Amino acid sequence: MNQEELQAALEALGRGGITVNGDLVLEKKVDYEVANVETGGIGIQINNNYGGEKQTPLAINDKEIKEAIEELLQAKNDDGALLFRNKKQWWAVFRVLAECFNYPTQMRSFVTKMKELEVAVVDGERDLSYESLSKAPKDVPLMSVRVSSWNTVKDKSASYQQQYEVAEFLMRKLGILS
C-alpha cells in the first residue's frame, strides 16, 4: 500500500467513526460501544444498552438512591444474615448505579459520590474504599458482563452469589426488576 492509498484508507476509516492512534491502536465508537484492537492482542470494552436498544437512565434522584442503599445495608437474607456482608459487595452497587442511573463509571469518582451521599462509611467491615472496590472484580471475573445479565452467568460460587444478591436487591428496590 502506497502513501496515497494509506491516506485514503485513513480518511475512510475516519468517516466511519474509527480513529487510528499511531499505527498500533484502532478505536471505533458506535453509540455506547468502544472497541480497541492493539498489536499482539485484542482488548474490547463494550458498553451497550440493554438488548441493544438505546435507553435513557431511569429518573431516580440521589435521595432515592441513598434510601435504597441504606435499606440494602440493613436487609437480611432468608437465613437472617445480612445481605450486604463485605466491602467487596460495593462492586454490585457500583455496577448497578453506573449502568442504570448514570452514576460515575470511574471507581474513584463513584467512591466520592457515595461519600457525598453519606453511605460509604458503614461499620468498618463494609465501608467503601477505592482499594476494596477495585479488587472486587478479580474475585468474580465473570461479573464483567452487563449487570442485567448476571442471572445468566453459570458461576454460582459464594463470591458470585454475594454480588448477585446485592445487585438484584438494589435493582428491585430502584424499579429495574419487578
Query: Which of these, 56, 65, 130, lies nearest to 91 by C-alpha position?
Result: 130
Q: Which residues contact 62 (CB under 8 A, 6 or more apart)?
A: 117
Residue pair 166/72 in contact by the 8 Å Cβ criterion: yes
Amino acid 68: pLDDT: 95
Residue 143 has pLDDT above 70, yes or no: no
Residue 142, pLDDT > 50, answer: yes
For residues 91 and 47, the model is more confident at 91
Q: What is the pLDDT at residue 80?
A: 93
More confident of the two residues 142 and 57: 142
Q: What pLDDT, on a 0 to 100 scale, did the predictor assign at position 177?
A: 79
Report the C-alpha gap between 148 and 171 in whole angstroms. Answer: 9
- Least confident range from 30-34, 86-90, 137-141: namely 30-34
Q: pLDDT tens, 3-33?
A: 787 777 767 666 665 655 554 344 444 443 3
Q: For residues 13 and 35, what is the distance between their CA atoms, to the nearest angstrom?
A: 14
Average of per-residue pLDDT across 37-52: 39
Is residue 83 a contact partner of residue 169, using CB atoms and an 8 Å limit? yes
* Reported confidence tier of residue 41, pLDDT bands at 50, 70, 90: very low
Calculate what percentage of the chain has a pLDDT beyond 70: 68
Please tell me the distance from the alpha carbon of residue 173 to that of residue 176, in angstroms, as a whole number. Answer: 8
pLDDT at 19: 56
Q: Any idea where the domains of the chain sit in the sequence?
A: 3-47, 62-173
C-alpha count within 13 angstroms, C-beta hemisphere, residue 42 = 4
> Per-residue confidence at 155, pLDDT binned at 50, 70, 90?
low
What pTM did the predictor assign? 0.66
